[in-house]
A and B are shown apart, each in its own frame.
Chain A
Amino acid sequence: MKIIVNGQSLEVTATLLEAALGELGYGDARVATALNGEFVPGPARASTSLGDGDRLEILAPMQGG
């Protein structure tokens, strides 16, 4: 299925968020996720289903003021 990851349309085979993160190369990266604008805590990723056209935001630590 196609989902929008950080604004970019990508094809993923995983149907659960945690598996999709692995498939997209995040592995053990320190990131936070939001699906369709709603925060998904780390422990909930394994039970969070993905659907075609979902918008996934994957955010990492960054410099800030």
Chain B
Amino acid sequence: MQVYGVDIGSRLLLGTAQYPSPAILGDAIRASGAEIVTVSLRRESGGDQHGQAFWNLIRDMGVRVLPNTAGCHSVKEAVTTAQMAREVFDTNWIKLEVIGDNDTLCPNVLDLVEAARVLCEDGFDVFPYTTDDLVVAERLLEAGCRVLMPWGAPIGTGLGLNNVYGLRTMRAHFPDVPLIVDAGIGLPSHAAHAMELGFDAVLLNTAVARAGDPVMMARAFARAVEAGALARDADPMEARDMASPSTPVFGKASLG
């Protein structure tokens, strides 16, 4: 996969929040094989060094960071957060979230497009967290985005792919745009399904971080994503309604 001119080997992008400990986070990242991890910015008091310790951990792992604008509800908030993230993390990459509803964390796609336009014009490489709406996707591409990240389901729900039809049509409509399913993935089978649909990658956090054994789950997701990508490349059979015997009928003994 290539995003914004960068070759990425792993098709799994991993969030860094909600892990039981920094050590488990580090082990989970290693087990996942992820080359890109998402990070954020939050308030920190002067004497507190949690943020610095976290940054040291991530930096030492040699992974590429994708800062987010999580929690932003307006264009202004998202753009300012992105500017601050660019300075702190020293990257033009930004996972753009503009939340429109607190219950579903559904993106406000109108403000998302506007924020994407502002940030692209300012030299950012924008990874927009969006829905599977094709018209919004077109607008995001017109704004300058060169990757799209539709949700599978609302953030943190683990419901999987809520609208397979929408995701399938998105893949068909944008055959040459890197598409990453972001949010809602709960199980490795969901991730494998996304890859089988032809998506380029999946981005997830809670499914690994909140598992009883995050490191083992990270390993499971790594294999699922690889399995799904292999299956897609292997050109799956067509599904059919009626049964078709797999064992040859020719040569069957007459024993009745």
Contacts and interface: CB of A to CB of B under 8 A. Distances in A.
Q: Which one of A25, A37, A41, A62 has the greatest number of beta carbons of chain B within 10 Å?
A: A62
Nearest to A6: B43
B80 A63 contact: no
B68 A65 contact: yes
A14 B38 CA distance: 35
A30 B70 contact: no
A61 B88 contact: yes
Contacts of B52: 29-30, 60-61
B173 interface: no
Interface string B48-63: 0111101100100000
Interface residues of A, number: 25
A62 B39 contact: yes
Contact of B88 (A25, A37, A60, A65): A60
Nearest to B44: A60
Given A34-B84, A59-B84, A65 B206 contact: yes
Interface of A: 6-7, 24-26, 29-34, 37-39, 41-42, 57-65
Q: Which 7 A-B pairs have the closest CB atoms?
A: A64-B40, A25-B46, A60-B51, A65-B15, A32-B84, A65-B205, A60-B44
Given A29-B46, A59-B42, A60-B41, 20 more contacts: A6-B43, A6-B44, A30-B52, A30-B55, A30-B88, A31-B51, A32-B84, A37-B80, A39-B87, A41-B87, A59-B84, A59-B88, A60-B51, A61-B41, A62-B41, A63-B18, A64-B15, A64-B16, A64-B40, A65-B16
Interface of B: 15-19, 25, 38-47, 49-52, 54-55, 58, 67-68, 70, 76, 80, 83-85, 87-89, 155-156, 205-206
30 contacts: A6-B44, A7-B43, A25-B47, A29-B46, A29-B52, A30-B55, A31-B88, A32-B84, A37-B80, A39-B80, A39-B87, A41-B83, A59-B41, A60-B42, A60-B50, A60-B55, A61-B39, A61-B51, A61-B52, A61-B88, A61-B89, A62-B39, A63-B16, A63-B40, A64-B16, A65-B15, A65-B17, A65-B38, A65-B70, A65-B206
